[in-house]
Structure 1
Amino acid sequence: FLINFIFLFRLNLRIFFPVELDKGVVKRMLTFSYPFIFSTVAAYVINWVDIIVIKKYLGLFEVGVYSLAYKMGNFLRQFGLVLNTIFFPMMVGLLSRKRKDLINLYFQRITPQIVFLWGIILFFIFILSQPLIPIFFGKSFAGSVSPFLILLIGYYINIFAMLCSSILMTFELVKQVVLVNFLAMLLNLGFDLLLVPKIGIDGAAIATAMVFIFGGISYFFLVNRILGLKERRSLFIPIPFLIFFIFNILFQNTVYLLGSGIILAII
């Protein structure tokens, strides 16, 4: 920092003046950016509403158990966020060169491959988390297993949002994205208030998973519309994994090994 400060004073400050702003560019930047204020608020509410509702209807112990499941899920979600960082500059470059055909190709070819690969990764995490969470975090946190497995379903489908957001931002569909996020916030709050008092922390996990599924599917269809496509094949890829996830959550003791074997055979 000190070295940078010294070099700053050695610069000819005249290079910074006169300050000239293109009003058209500034207006476009503000128009593009201001909706993100609402999106940030929505994301903040989604991140914390589960904890607030659980604390209100249950207790601090349940807050801790659910927080572990949620933090592990968010850690996995970071890998999906990396995809947006990688693909966004590519999409901008392709659009600037008027190569919408390559953007279409990315959506039709790359998206299903990543969805399938993400399903395989989450499949093994799903299997290993059940015995390993109590081992690493103690038996008192064994209750984190169930909400974590439920959240994995939402994080899986939400990969569509991670893959599609770069395209949506490239085409500047900011308002549509913010609308989806705002609706997701309202759905999360509503489902939490409905489910947590009835089924506890699993209800909070179901609410969040449903919101992530809503976001992923909504982004997917928004991209279809902006690209003028009717791509549906990618939506069928998660079905075998989802069947295994849901059946395993409902009937862990009876279909766990059988379901694992079937999915591995499919893979």
Structure 2
Amino acid sequence: MNTLVKKMYSSKLVKSGIWYTIGTFFLQGIGFLTLPIFNRLLSPTENGVITIYTTYVGVFTILIGIGLESAVSRGRFDFKEDYEEFLSSLLFLASITFVIWLAIGIIFKNPISNMIGIKPDLVILLIVQSFFGFVLSFASTKYSIEYKYKKFLFISITSTLINVGLSIILIMGLTNNRYYGRIKGGAYVTIIYGVILYAIVMIKGRKLIALKYWKYALPISLPMIFHQLSSIALTSSDAVMISKIVGDAETGIYGFAYKMGLIVSIAWAASNKAWVPWFFEKMKEENYDEISEKTKYYIILFSFITFILIFISPEIAMILGTKAYSQGIGLVPIIMIGYYFVFLYSLPVNLEFYTKKTKYIATGTFMAAVANIVLNLIFIPKFGYVAAGWTTVASYLLLFLYHYIIALKISDVRVFNVMHFIYGILFIAVSSGIFYFIKDIWVIRYGIITMVCLITVFSFKKKIGVLLNR
């Protein structure tokens, strides 16, 4: 086992994946990591307001950034010699759209406030935070594709710690509308870090207007606006519709369950940061056999991680939540299953990114978002907020099937074996069914985890060692 661990850590793919996992849990897992604190400082209703604000930050981040971070990874391979100039020119293009949106926000602050349901004094903060949130995402993508995980890790840890500390101070200083403290704490940290990273990219590149780079990036990024907005609709329409149909308190409970389920999404986001540059490199080398083989073990590993998280989810929820949120505990595994399908569909999506066929990505996400909204309209009034979890699973399942078919269509090379996906889905489906029968008997749950761990390690340790030596 010691030899196997050393071999794993010597692999660039595994090593970067480990560090990206740590960093991503800090950067993208802020909502999860701070649940025990903020669930005790804020009521479900206040958390519902924060959920809605965060949703619109995501929307404006996409509108202001016009999807340009989508071109960062591919540009690393097409503009090796002048990559820094390429990046600074894209960031300047996003700056232009930011100024336009800021002017719109100042002029139409009250109508925008009425439209999206937040107070007028938060509109400008939302727009500014959205731009610098885009800058953080832009820089994060750059560091990922360059395997600069130490810089990514530093930004993730320090920004998270400051965010949490500042938010607590601001919340404790308020007696009414305490959600202002959480919103402003996160916004201020995002803006400060965004300004610093913006300056670094612009100073290194020193290129503002470059039509060559813009013409290259826009055909890749513009379809991604549609994709990302549809993705927001897919992930956040649940909360918005629950708020409108049921109420803010139920939105807060659902938001708690959703954040718990995001553990799987965070694990995927971290592993994907390591997987994408490796996948692009192997595609460029036309090393399709290695991609296919490692994809198999990637699916096995992530299925195993999802299985464990589902089986320990009741304990995690009890630790991080309070009695006010206990109704949402049973929904957590369902959300996790939904994000398992996000992991699965990301594999063929990376092929679409590599071949620059991003129009297919936008179309698929839009269709899944429409399906999710329609299903929510039908089932939330009948079954309450619990229905939103199941509609999310159904939508992501459809999205996976769509992207797998598209991958077959756009490439003659078969780097994905359908049976690997089927085995993974069957494993998660069966283990989830077992979980709901024994969810209240923790001894049996942890006994099954132990048994599966031992079987997995002894079954695959030799094969994994061979793969890592390649």
Class of the TM-score when normalised by the shorter of the 2 chains? 0.7 to 0.9
User: Size of the alignment, in residue pairs?
Assistant: 250
SS of corresponding position for 2:332: helix
Q: 2:281 aligns with which of 93, 96, 101?
A: 93
Structure 2 contact 262–336 (Cα < 8 Å) conserved: no
SS of corresponding position for 1:237: helix
* Structure 1 stretch displaced more, 109-118 or 239-248: 239-248
- Match of residue 160 from structure 1: 344
Q: What is the identity, as a one-letter code, of the residue corresponding to 2:418?
A: R
- Match of residue 193 from structure 1: 377
- Match of residue 236 from structure 1: 422
Superposition CA RMSD, Å: 3.2
Residues 260 and 140 (structure 1), Cα distance of their counterparts in 2 relative to 1, 3 Å cut: farther
> Does residue 29 in structure 1 map to residue 29 in structure 2?
no
**Distance in 1 between the 2:433 and 2:281 partners?**
40
Residues 186 and 94 (structure 1), Cα distance of their counterparts in 2 relative to 1, 3 Å cut: same
Shift of 1:211: 1.7
**Distance in 2 between the 1:263 and 1:213 partners?**
29
Q: What is the identity, as a one-letter code, of the residue corresponding to 1:243?
A: V
Higher relative contact order (CA 8 A, sep 6+): 1
Q: What is the identity, as a one-letter code, of the residue corresponding to 1:139?
A: K
Q: For each residue in 1:141-198, what CA deviation from the matched residue of structure 2 results, as whole angstroms up to 9, or x when unmatched? A: 2222222111111111221123333221001120111111111110110111111112
**Distance in 2 between the 1:158 and 1:30 partners?**
25
Shift of 1:89: 2.8
Segments of 5+ residues of structure 1 without an aligned counterpart are 9-14
**Distance in 1 between the 2:375 and 2:220 partners?**
31
**Distance in 2 between the 1:187 and 1:60 partners?**
24
- Match of residue 105 from structure 1: 290
Shift of 1:261: 3.3
Q: What are the residue-to-residue correspondences of 1:111-130 with 2, within 5 Å?
A: 111-130=295-314
**Distance in 2 between the 1:176 and 1:203 partners?**
28
State the identity as a percent. Answer: 19
Q: For each residue in 1:227-252, what CA deviation from the matched residue of structure 2 results, as whole angstroms up to 9, or x when unmatched? A: 43372111222212211213433774
- Match of residue 125 from structure 2: none
- Match of residue 46 from structure 1: 234
SS of corresponding position for 1:172: coil
Q: What are the residue-to-residue correspondences of 1:183-222 with 2, within 5 Å?
A: 183-222=367-406
**Distance in 1 between the 2:320 and 2:406 partners?**
41
Residues 246 and 16 (structure 1), Cα distance of their counterparts in 2 relative to 1, 3 Å cut: closer
Residues 258 and 39 (structure 1), Cα distance of their counterparts in 2 relative to 1, 3 Å cut: closer
Structure 1 contact 70–151 (Cα < 8 Å) conserved: yes
Residues 212 and 263 (structure 1), Cα distance of their counterparts in 2 relative to 1, 3 Å cut: farther
Residues 86 and 262 (structure 1), Cα distance of their counterparts in 2 relative to 1, 3 Å cut: closer
SS of corresponding position for 1:158: helix
Shift of 1:258: 7.8
Q: TM-score, normalised by structure 2?
A: 0.47
Structure 1 contact 244–259 (Cα < 8 Å) conserved: no
Segments of 5+ residues of structure 2 without an aligned counterpart are 1-195, 457-470
- Match of residue 50 from structure 2: none
Shift of 1:205: 0.5
Structure 1 contact 112–234 (Cα < 8 Å) conserved: yes
- Match of residue 359 from structure 2: 175
**Distance in 2 between the 1:214 and 1:135 partners?**
33
Q: What are the residue-to-residue correspondences of 1:11-90 with 2, within 5 Å?
A: 21-22=211-212, 26-90=214-278
Residues 191 and 20 (structure 1), Cα distance of their counterparts in 2 relative to 1, 3 Å cut: closer
* Structure 1 stretch displaced more, 114-123 or 247-256: 247-256
Structure 2 contact 253–325 (Cα < 8 Å) conserved: yes
